[in-house]
Amino acid sequence: MKDIHIATAQFQTKNGDKEYNISRIEELTSEAVEKGARIVCFHELCITSYTFLKKLKRNELFDLAEEIPSGESSMRLITLAKQHDVAILAGLVEKEDNKMFNSYICVTGEGLVARFRKLHPFIHKDLSAGNEYIVFDLFGCKCGILICFDNNVIENVRATTLLGAEILFMPHVTGCTPSSMPGRGWVGKKYWDNRVIDPVSLRLEFDGRKGRKWLMRWLPARAYDNGIYVVFSNPIGMDDDHLKNGNSMILDPYGDIIAECRSLDDEVVVGLCTAEKLEQSGGYRYRNARRPELYGDILRQPHMSKLDIEWLDKKPKK
């Protein structure tokens, strides 16, 4: 891997307004270039917005989707990348034949470098699941992509690392949503509406277990255990009727944050990723110490739900 400056951004999208959303990508890319970035990445489905997709009928979603790389949005990103001599990563709804995907692309001024289709899509029933990992060369670096929930299935991160990824791009739309974990939950829109006169209350919500503290449970672990750079991107503000906490950040192979968006507004930050940290990290040693002969068959086993396990426990033994 070559040393490289990477930018990650956060911004508030407008539902289905590709023109506005791409205009924000253009402005934030310009800011990133001024800060020395060679790669600039944005969040999941940043070109279309995310949460509102669940309200669309199939034909409406299909009309919003584009072919890759011949679609207008892909071509505009390629033009933008050429203008600044950078790589740009961004998300959109893709259509191919009669199928649609939650996709994330990497482009340079030369054209499409990589396309990844989300493995675990769930915002709309008519989005098809991707079925492959990708690792690609970018400016002398080995890069991979996993979208949002894909990263919560830890095998996906390990598999992408084992395929050679040194830098893993993790575009998300996440945070400030309920779960069974204590302290998780929605953050009310009132906090966002009052952010100018009362930024402290919003920051406390964003930095607590509903937002940043939840991210800090697992993002550093993905970077540290695998010995890779993690580039996390996330929107800030209202994504349809859901409030998102931003906190786009870059973590090094030690699990340390080297750059993070801390503004309550659109922002882009740049971190320097250096080759020397890769082989110095614990994750590098852990990968080399693997003994797949012990657990290879176990990892190939199909998933069993709690009900499956209970049924096996109750099944009469021969």
Tokens of 61: 């979603």
Q: Among residues 20, 66, 12, 67, which one has the least CA distance to residue 42?
A: 12
pLDDT of 230-263, one tens digit each? Answer: 999 999 999 999 999 999 999 999 999 999 999 9
CATH of the domain at 256: 3.60.110.10
How far is 252 from 201, CA to CA, in rounded Å?
30
Per the structure, the count of domains in the chain is: 1
Quote the pLDDT of residue 301. 85
Query: How large is the C-alpha radius of gyration of the chain?
Result: 20
Question: Which residues have CB under 8 Å from 126's CB, separation 6+?
Answer: 58, 61, 62, 100
Per-residue pLDDT, averaged over 84-110, amounts to 98
Is the pLDDT at 318 greater than 70, yes or no? no
Measure the CA–CA gap between 24 and 122, rounded to whole angstroms: 26
Whole-number Å distance between alpha carbons of 90 and 317: 53
Contact 205, 166 (CB under 8 A): no
Mean per-residue pLDDT for 293-307?
80
Residue 122 has pLDDT above 80, yes or no: yes
* Dihedral (CA of 43, 45, 46, 49) sign: negative
Q: Is the pLDDT of residue 100 over 80?
A: yes
Mean pLDDT of 146-159: 97
| Confidence category of residue 300, pLDDT binned at 50, 70, 90 | confident
Range of the domain at 90: 4-314
Angstrom distance (rounded) from CA 226 to CA 224 = 5
**% of the chain with per-residue pLDDT over 70:** 95
Dihedral sign for Cα atoms in the order 274, 277, 279, 281: negative
- Looking at every residue in the chain, the average pLDDT score rounds to 95
Strand intervals (E) in the chain: 4-10, 39-41, 87-96, 99-108, 111-117, 127-128, 135-138, 141-145, 167-171, 229-233, 236-239, 242-245, 249-251, 257-260, 267-273
pLDDT above 60 for 104 = yes
Contacts of residue 52, defined as CB under 8 A and 6 or more positions apart, other chains included, come to: 15, 16, 239, 240
In this predicted structure, the answer to whether residue 214 has a pLDDT above a threshold of 90 is: yes
